[in-house]
Each structure stands twice: as C-alpha cells, then as structure tokens.
Amino acid sequence: SSGINAEYGVAIANSTIKSGACGKLEIIAQQIRFLQEQARQVLLDASTDERISKASCNFVKKPGKVYHLYQREDGHCYLGMLSPEEWGGNPPHEFVASYKLEYDMTFTPLQKVQKREQEMSRVHELFEERHVVSDHPPDLDISRHGDCSNRTKWINRPSIEPRKVPESSESSSSRA
C-alpha cells in the first residue's frame, strides 16, 4: 500500500513538473513569436527609411516636420514639402505617402504619428517617474519580507555626484 502511494506521489510530481515546464515553454514560444514579429517590423521600417532617405530632396530635412513622398513615371522618388492637398489635389507626380521625420532621423508614416507620440509620451512619463522614486533600494532579502511586492516600486537610479559650484568673480574679488 505504501509502495502504491509512493508511485502515485511520484507520478503526480512528474505530471506537475511536466505541466510547469510545458507552461514555461509555451510562454517562451509566445515571446519568440513576439520577437520575430518585432524583428520583421524593424526590417520593414529600415527598408522604408532607406527608400525615403535615398529619395531626391532639394531642401534640408528637419526633424519634427512632415514630408511627402512622390514617385515619377520613371520610378524615381523624391520628397516634397507640399501635400497632395496643397497641390490642389493634383500633384505633379504620383503621391506615395506622407511621413514625419523623427528626431532619431527615422520616418514615421503620417497615419502612425499619433500612436507613436502616445507611446513616446508614456516613455517620457516613465522616465519622469524614475526621478521621483527613492534613491535607496529596498531590502531585497525575501526571507525577511516573504514577497516581492515592494521591490517593483523601486527603480535603480545612477548615483549623482555633487558638483562643485565655481566661485563667482564677485565673491573671489571680495576676499582680496
């Protein structure tokens, strides 16, 4: 009877281990698919940026501005400052798309600008939150706390060394 109980216990343990491992492997598989999609998007964006960067342009491009890509009959592309609407709906060549030149010198399709700006706004918010978090890390010894709930609130910040403030010429002349 005790041998049967031991075998049953081992079988249950093996099943639990197998189930846990399968669950973890499924999470890893999902992450791999997500990373593959991100890699595909990065390559697509790089291809688009390359195409736009190779387009003729008779002006200095400035980050933050929107530019319009046109294609001539011979397949040659160029960037313009005028949208098809500013051409009265009749641009001189085939309109391809409009892009905003970002400050990292990449191009965002105009229809994705709002989404990108929302994402960047969230990144800036996270960065700002980082500056109001404590300079002291929490006690990470789980044996004393039993959980990790307070550790997710602390973000490691680089230490900032105090700078010496140079004396002004007025204060140094007053000593003389």
Written as one letter, the residue type at 42 is: V
Residue 175: per-residue pLDDT: 42
What are 34-51's pLDDT values in tens digits? 999 999 999 998 998 898
Burial class of residue 110 in the structure, from the number of CB atoms within 10 Å of its CB (0-12 exposed, 13-18 middle, 19+ buried)? middle
**What average pLDDT is seen over the chain?**
78
* CA atoms 81, 83, 89, 91: torsion sign: positive
Residue 142: per-residue pLDDT: 45
Confidence of residue 136 (pLDDT cuts 50, 70, 90): low
Confidence of residue 137 (pLDDT cuts 50, 70, 90): low
The DSSP 8-state label assigned to residue 93 in this structure reads: S
The half-sphere exposure of 28 on its side-chain side, counting CA atoms within 13 A, is: 6
- Residue 79: which H helix or E strand, with range? strand 77-80
